[in-house]
Structure 1
């Protein structure tokens, strides 16, 4: 929620509190202010100018020579390239010496031989986002109303001398999705009162209920619907002050009628929609569930197919809007609109959320309905919009409201004692302080000794139980005022469990190997959740997700680690190596909680070793990552129980991927991302692994054993075996170890060859064999006997022969 400081001052007295101080107080009370934007930061010397004359530049087809009154003794000549500049306009002028965003300084200059003393500015050049600029000025300069005074501060006229607070609201605080809601919050913090707009206008003799009728078929999804009728409006731009407030809140102005509905949306938090009554198609408004396959063209000119779960506003036969999400193009307010049907309603949040999700439409209206609007502001918001349409669109408001209502919303009533608040907070807080807090919040309170009976206004739908009132008391009393105390209790020396100790060892090893720890969300989107999963299982979906990207629990850590790599490489790093230890969630059916298993995953890309002083650069590859895992298994005492086997997995390179087995059971995988995945994520060659850490931790590990340094020399033999290309070096190594006997201490691969010197389909694998006996010197005969057994086993199991 973007909150204009100047706009907020109209509802609550902010004297003595600048925007940054106010932001600090709001944050300390429980709502985070993510940023405070100074809208005119770095801009100086911009005034309103009056274009007295405009003529074509003599030497440039796309330039205009303008004589502009900027409130000084003499008008100045300015060369302007905007296509819409005309004589008589009031425009924003950056005078000579002015500074625009980006430290762009305006100097006196000559353009094609003509002197230019300043610059006529567009809104974009004054720092406004292009998507917020009214469409008529999107490709040119902005034109002020005719009553603007030359020489006055253009930034003040454009409301750019304002500061905007960005509130990071949690879903339960939907009351602060409006200026009045924020005003209530600030008034409670500062102990000041809230000023509501006065609602008064002239109503015509004709009644709105005679002009249209309301019929609600689905009373659960739409318990209340109200409609105001405004006749003979004149469609024109809205007042400049309204346009600038909408832009400060992140909404593009359109015309006076549409801007008024958006203004009231921001002011009251109640979504409204204006239909062109003459294009609506009837005098009957019917709210019903859509028919399966029914279609509507929405305001974004997209044809959308409806489902039977979607609620629609119809003219008795044809849908004119998707309730709470977006209106239809057929009854859109346009330049020739004369009569308005103004909708204000209470729609069920879940129904709106489902329609918004199905159509991929997120609007300011749907965001508020989904989180909950104040049902008792539905009608006042419609009255406020009717008042503004009468004032700024010349509309004639019909008497009363056409409505249908099937529910009354009564305020919640909660009783709580000061003692209860003290016991929960663990601190002393007087009953007087508690009563003062409830008064500041605008809650009606009856007190009987230290027991308070609190009536909660419907605007605060998040307060339903005693504990909610405890939280309100704590945050307004001040979290900083809650004393820090140590618990008085018996204690025992702490220690890590075996599992915790092993997990810490894993973390320290991976960091020592050069990987940086990453922490990513456990929630992800359906498109990512099952990618790279070790276990195939159903997804665990959230019933009330924050967004589509955070709607299910993850089955793998890798998708988000890939995002981390992409983020880092996009910022001009030439290497990235990260790991994460976190949980994945295996479904046990929709009625049961998912099983939680801890995984460890890592990803490396770019240069693995780059030491300028050594003059060496080594790119990451499969064997770098495999070496890291082998070192990890050694740390855990599992090296002899782990086996790597070549495999194919979705999303991985078909020839550079291996599965990792622990005692014959799948425990993870390692390999290179598939080239298509790398290209999609703008990555160079990237290697990843994911391990079931829970399985590794629970496995029996070899204890650390001591062996004396041998006093007798060992004997080393090299052997090169020619075998089929399909033979895995690991399988051949295992056979050598099994046949070599107890004197064979080490077997390692030092060369693999495939080439013209070998027949088709064959490869040569060379091993180094190390023999040793700590008690004596070995003889050549003993080594030769072992060597023969190795050759025999290799030939019988793999058809391997000694390379000539």
Structure 2
């Protein structure tokens, strides 16, 4: 493209290979920092990318997490072949092999088959470390992978081509010439290939030799066994690791790699051998070494073969299509599903972990039949009704709106938790809350059971906010707890919806109680009460109340025990309420009641008194209501104080009393008499002292 430089017309530029983002490995004849002289006589004006052969088109795919098989060229080619109807040709792998059998050089032992069901290895001798050929380097760079040397490049190339991460060990540095797949010891240290020392724990899987870890399984290799220019014999690793385990390890170490990103999605256990053989084939093709005979294949745990019954009528009813049985079978077989036409049983290939039920089969058929061929239809049927919210949903809306109006922020937490939280809550060994539903395939130990209480989740959120120097927080969550009906679990657990409220900062128990009272009023619930609760180890004794509605337990609220707060690294004064939603739904009254505006004025009096610290507010209010008679319209607690000017073991309690008569204006004499009765009752029953 012509241009002007300082007023002079220019036909092009003179560049070095560095300025063109090329390397001397790609063009050995080029000077490192001098002008790049093109070989031959390329025509003037031709695009430099075409002259150098670097004008390939790179297509980027966004692969969903449930399709790890498509994180490879082969997986994408399989999908494209079915889409285009061209037929899929699997790569042909042929090896020469020579010398002794691989098992004579090394052994493999798997100590945890759940975390590593299969581990395969091949031995390559007389390694010649050097740069990879131009075609391989170009393909790796196009995929965003930096070429290093022929051996490392082969492992990366196989990962991109087949979707199976691999690793190469220098066999000379594997002590006792052993590979042991085991859990790490707590506090065990490994220096990974990025030069960082990593502290491991027993939840992590490692590849070890006879004495020490040499790789973090599925994440990154160790520096103590890496391939160098002096390497002469290597062991190629191709293994299958448990996805959730790899994900948890990578998360704990803060080390997410291309390999871990693939393993955590769940890879094909049957692809292990194909990958290690392909790596060996590339070694032979590149002349990088001599591949020893045989393969070390430790297959500790074979997965169950998944079969699904295919019902064409059901598939068509689900999709709203009229696809023939033959067409369905053709689509599935093209995708490498095996179909037994006699029993109409579909065997799912091992590389498709996302296909588990008939609906998944229907999805595969719909994808390749064509969504555009599925005709749009209108809903029909006499049973159609206008959509509306159920009564329970209306109650839930009122709960959320009331919480927000009280200044609370909504949170969302996982329904999974760890068994360790029960010890942090100070629960006894025989506490019923410890009976939890165990998750069969958890994301990790921290998510291995279904929660039976929401208090740990709320404390975790409070702890997070507190650690970030948030001075005050008011939070709530509507969620579920899961309580098994029997142990061991033989049926679905009981799911209970609960409201959890958490607070800390410049507030106290009565702020929390006020929020709950505001909610009960919004729901039209009147027959409720708060009773002293001292039997819960999670809460502070004497600062906890039990909420009852119509005499039945509906929840608990109070200050968290200081020991529990300390274990969760939460503020010392943390307040939490857990209220069951079902009693709220059963007792909610959304029918508004008409109340006539008062015709006569009210009289307000305030009263402050000293009472013993162990006297409950409920007792005080009961006496005030009894002694005031019918003219008491309202009673409001507005202050509770302990500290200076208040004797030890005592507290100051202040109320505002509102008096009104429905048929007349009250006189000062009537109100004074009522107040006198109240004070006498408080003094005689509770030993209260009036504060002037």
TM-score (norm 1): 0.63
Residue 415 of structure 2: aligned partner? 522
Which whole-Å CA distance do the structure 1 matches of 2:321 and 2:423 have between them?
A: 47
Residue 740 of structure 1: aligned partner? 628
- How many Å apart are 1:744 and its aligned residue? 1.7
CA contact (8 A) 2:98 2:290 kept: no
Which whole-Å CA distance do the structure 1 matches of 2:222 and 2:213 have between them?
A: 8
Residue 471 of structure 1: aligned partner? 363
Residue 494 of structure 2: aligned partner? 595
Which whole-Å CA distance do the structure 2 matches of 1:412 and 1:303 have between them?
A: 39
Is 1:630–2:557 an aligned residue pair? no
Aligned counterpart for 2:477 among listed residues 565, 580, 605: 580
- Which residues in structure 2 correspond to 1:63-212 (within 5 Å)? 90-92=17-19, 145-147=26-28, 162=58, 164-170=60-66, 173-194=67-88, 196-197=90-91, 199=93, 203=96, 205-209=98-102, 211-212=104-105
- How many Å apart are 1:544 and its aligned residue? 0.9
Residue 233 of structure 2: aligned partner? 339
- How many Å apart are 1:384 and its aligned residue? 1.5
Go from structure 1 to structure 2 and tell me whether the alpha carbon gap of 1:393 and 1:640 turns closer, same or farther (over 3 Å shift): farther
CA contact (8 A) 2:406 2:515 kept: yes
Is 1:459–2:351 an aligned residue pair? yes
CA contact (8 A) 1:313 1:323 kept: no
Residue 541 of structure 1: aligned partner? 438
Residue 379 of structure 2: aligned partner? 486
Residue 3 of structure 2: aligned partner? none
- Which residues in structure 2 correspond to 1:429-440 (within 5 Å)? 429-431=323-325, 433-438=327-332, 440=334
Go from structure 1 to structure 2 and tell me whether the alpha carbon gap of 1:385 and 1:696 turns closer, same or farther (over 3 Å shift): same
- How many Å apart are 1:337 and its aligned residue? 0.9
CA contact (8 A) 1:510 1:579 kept: yes
Which whole-Å CA distance do the structure 1 matches of 2:300 and 2:575 have between them?
A: 60
Aligned counterpart for 1:258 among listed residues 139, 143, 152: 152
Residue 502 of structure 1: aligned partner? 395
Secondary structure in 1 aligned to 2:633? Answer: strand
Residue 233 of structure 1: aligned partner? 127
Unaligned stretches of 5+ in structure 1?
1-69, 76-88, 94-120, 124-141, 607-618
CA contact (8 A) 2:531 2:546 kept: yes
Equivalent pairs, count: 652
Residues 164-200 of structure 1: per-residue CA shift (max 9 Å, x gap): 4342313xx4433433223323443454544655545
Go from structure 1 to structure 2 and tell me whether the alpha carbon gap of 1:144 and 1:482 turns closer, same or farther (over 3 Å shift): farther
- How many Å apart are 1:385 and its aligned residue? 0.7
Is 1:396–2:290 an aligned residue pair? yes
Go from structure 1 to structure 2 and tell me whether the alpha carbon gap of 1:782 and 1:204 turns closer, same or farther (over 3 Å shift): closer
Secondary structure in 2 aligned to 1:600? Answer: strand
- Which residues in structure 2 correspond to 1:675-690 (within 5 Å)? 689-690=577-578
Which whole-Å CA distance do the structure 2 matches of 1:239 and 1:461 have between them?
A: 35
Which whole-Å CA distance do the structure 2 matches of 1:574 and 1:359 have between them?
A: 29
Secondary structure in 2 aligned to 1:91? Answer: coil
Secondary structure in 2 aligned to 1:165? Answer: coil
- Which residues in structure 2 correspond to 1:607-686 (within 5 Å)? 627-639=514-526, 641-643=528-530, 659=545, 661-663=547-549, 665=553, 667-669=555-557
- How many Å apart are 1:634 and its aligned residue? 0.7
Which whole-Å CA distance do the structure 2 matches of 1:655 and 1:415 have between them?
A: 59
Secondary structure in 2 aligned to 1:472? Answer: helix
Which whole-Å CA distance do the structure 2 matches of 1:598 and 1:248 have between them?
A: 52
CA contact (8 A) 2:500 2:576 kept: yes
Residues 97-135 of structure 1: per-residue CA shift (max 9 Å, x gap): xxxxxxxxxxxxxxxxxxxxxxxx9x9xxxxxxxxxxxx
Unaligned stretches of 5+ in structure 2?
1-9, 37-47
- How many Å apart are 1:596 and its aligned residue? 1.5
- How many Å apart are 1:446 and its aligned residue? 7.6
- How many Å apart are 1:651 and its aligned residue? 9.5
- Which residues in structure 2 correspond to 1:27-46 (within 5 Å)? none
Go from structure 1 to structure 2 and tell me whether the alpha carbon gap of 1:740 and 1:320 turns closer, same or farther (over 3 Å shift): same
Go from structure 1 to structure 2 and tell me whether the alpha carbon gap of 1:342 and 1:651 turns closer, same or farther (over 3 Å shift): same
Residues 544-603 of structure 1: per-residue CA shift (max 9 Å, x gap): 123556443344557667888999999999998764322122355442543321112356
CA contact (8 A) 2:219 2:250 kept: no
Go from structure 1 to structure 2 and tell me whether the alpha carbon gap of 1:351 and 1:438 turns closer, same or farther (over 3 Å shift): closer
Residues 613-659 of structure 1: per-residue CA shift (max 9 Å, x gap): xxxxxx9987766544322111223356243879999999x899764
Which whole-Å CA distance do the structure 2 matches of 1:322 and 1:348 have between them?
A: 11
CA contact (8 A) 1:199 1:384 kept: yes
Which whole-Å CA distance do the structure 2 matches of 1:579 and 1:598 have between them?
A: 13
Instruction: Give the aligned CA root-mean-square deviation in angstroms.
Output: 5.8
TM-score (norm 2): 0.72
Which whole-Å CA distance do the structure 1 matches of 2:73 and 2:417 have between them?
A: 32
Go from structure 1 to structure 2 and tell me whether the alpha carbon gap of 1:496 and 1:187 turns closer, same or farther (over 3 Å shift): same
Which whole-Å CA distance do the structure 1 matches of 2:144 and 2:681 have between them?
A: 75
Which whole-Å CA distance do the structure 2 matches of 1:686 and 1:248 have between them?
A: 55
Residues 464-497 of structure 1: per-residue CA shift (max 9 Å, x gap): 6655433321343345636444252546788766
CA contact (8 A) 1:236 1:393 kept: no
Residues 769-797 of structure 1: per-residue CA shift (max 9 Å, x gap): 22233134545554444323311221133
Secondary structure in 2 aligned to 1:747? Answer: strand
Secondary structure in 2 aligned to 1:181? Answer: helix
CA contact (8 A) 2:129 2:149 kept: yes
- How many Å apart are 1:237 and its aligned residue? 5.4
- How many Å apart are 1:270 and its aligned residue? 3.0
Go from structure 1 to structure 2 and tell me whether the alpha carbon gap of 1:394 and 1:716 turns closer, same or farther (over 3 Å shift): closer
CA contact (8 A) 2:156 2:166 kept: yes
Go from structure 1 to structure 2 and tell me whether the alpha carbon gap of 1:641 and 1:205 turns closer, same or farther (over 3 Å shift): closer
Residues 740-791 of structure 1: per-residue CA shift (max 9 Å, x gap): 2222221223456677666666554333322233134545554444323311
Is 1:275–2:169 an aligned residue pair? yes
Which whole-Å CA distance do the structure 2 matches of 1:650 and 1:90 have between them?
A: 72
Structure number with the higher strand fraction is 1
Go from structure 1 to structure 2 and tell me whether the alpha carbon gap of 1:639 and 1:160 turns closer, same or farther (over 3 Å shift): farther
